[in-house]
């Protein structure tokens, strides 16, 4: 289970079940909170590699792109949304969320069992009502009534923001290589100079697109161009025959038969 809790009130703003701990689960939780309450000023998490980049230094392409610190795909989404991302050094530093896990682990299995839930899809459908019940019981009024959440200008961009991000270079034919495939812009009118550094994003549904000037440019996969050997008229293959001398070991004159056999065998 992935979840996010408001630090001022103890209000659970989003939660989701997945098969294992993953970026998609955390992104789903953040999207739930954004769409219902807005964008928070800051996010407090642990140091899982989903939240931070395992790389200690920026690559040259990242430096040229204007980045100052290595960021994971999740971290880049937070930076794009202007959310301050703080990483805790110890579990004790995240006391509120750790106490939430204790409460949910004690109550949720019973609640789900009473509802007859037997799979993840049904569990996720049941979560909103269960969270409302939890929030009524455990949330507290904030010390300051002013909201610390900002409204998001465009909800449609959330799917594009929460995606796997990779830097690539444009090829000489306006193509991009990504995961052993070659892509070009789906629509005409988009042309980039060769060797231009761009950001390729892949959504959780598998859609691959180019993010350029705050806009998603959809891509389409094309066939790789296979290199063909060109031969002059009448030219034959240069591959040596099976009995060609080059296929035999080199033997100097004067070597003994024993040494010659060793040389040939090797």
Q: At residue 264, what are phi and psi to the nearest 5 degrees?
A: -70, -40
Report the C-alpha gap between 168 and 198 in whole angstroms: 5
Alpha-carbon gap, residue 195 to 193, rounded angstroms: 6
Distance, in Å, from the CA atom of 57 to the CA atom of 178, rounded to the nearest integer, reads 22
Nearest to 211 by CA among 195, 222, 199: 199
The tens place of each residue's pLDDT in the chain, 266 residues long, gives 999 999 889 999 999 999 999 999 999 999 999 988 899 999 999 888 898 877 656 666 656 656 566 788 999 999 888 999 988 877 666 778 888 889 899 999 999 999 999 999 999 999 999 999 999 999 999 888 888 898 877 666 787 889 999 989 999 889 999 999 999 999 888 888 898 889 999 999 999 999 988 888 999 998 876 666 566 666 666 677 777 777 666 555 555 444 444 333 33
Name the fold adopted by 2-150: Nucleotidyltransferase; domain 5 (3.30.420)
CB under 8 A, 24+ apart: contacts of 74-82: 74/23, 74/26, 74/27, 74/50, 74/162, 75/51, 76/165, 77/27, 77/30, 77/161, 77/162, 77/163, 78/43, 80/161, 81/39, 81/152, 81/161, 82/39
Spatial CB neighbours of 12, under 8 Å, sequence gap ≥ 6: 3, 4, 5, 6, 100, 131, 134, 135
Q: Measured between alpha carbons, how far is 244 from 151 in angstroms, rounded to an integer?
A: 77
User: Distance between CA atoms of 50 and 252, rounded to whole angstroms?
Assistant: 62
Q: Are 52 and 87 in contact (CB under 8 A)?
A: yes
The domain spans of the chain are 2-150, 163-222
């Amino acid at each position: 289970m992935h979840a996010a809790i408001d630090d001022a009130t103890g209000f659970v703003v989003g939660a989701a079940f997945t098969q294992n701990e993953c970026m998609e689960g955390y992104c789903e939780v953040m999207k739930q909170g954004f769409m219902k309450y807005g964008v928070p000023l800051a996010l407090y998490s642990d140091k899982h590699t989903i939240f931070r980049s395992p790389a200690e230094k920026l690559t040259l392409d990242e430096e040229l792109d204007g980045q100052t610190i290595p960021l994971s795909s999740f971290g880049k989404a937070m930076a794009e949304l202007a959310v301050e991302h703080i990483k805790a050094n110890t579990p004790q530093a995240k006391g509120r969320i750790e106490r939430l896990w204790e409460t949910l682990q004690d109550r949720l299995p019973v609640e789900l069992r009473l509802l007859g839930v037997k799979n993840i899809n049904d569990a996720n459908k049941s979560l909103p009502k269960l969270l409302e019940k939890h929030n009524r019981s455990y949330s507290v009024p904030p010390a300051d009534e002013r909201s610390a959440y900002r409204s998001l200008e465009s909800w449609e961009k959330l799917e594009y923001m929460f995606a796997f991000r990779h830097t690539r270079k444009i090829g000489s034919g306006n193509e991009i290589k990504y995961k052993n495939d070659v892509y070009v812009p789906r629509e005409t009118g988009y042309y980039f100079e060769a060797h231009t550094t761009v950001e390729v994003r892949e959504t959780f549904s598998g859609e691959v697109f180019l993010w350029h000037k705050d806009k998603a440019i959809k891509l389409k996969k094309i066939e790789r161009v296979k290199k063909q050997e060109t031969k002059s008229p009448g030219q034959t293959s240069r591959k040596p025959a099976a009995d060609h001398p080059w296929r035999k070991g080199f033997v100097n004159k004067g070597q003994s038969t024993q040494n010659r056999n060793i040389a040939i065998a090797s």
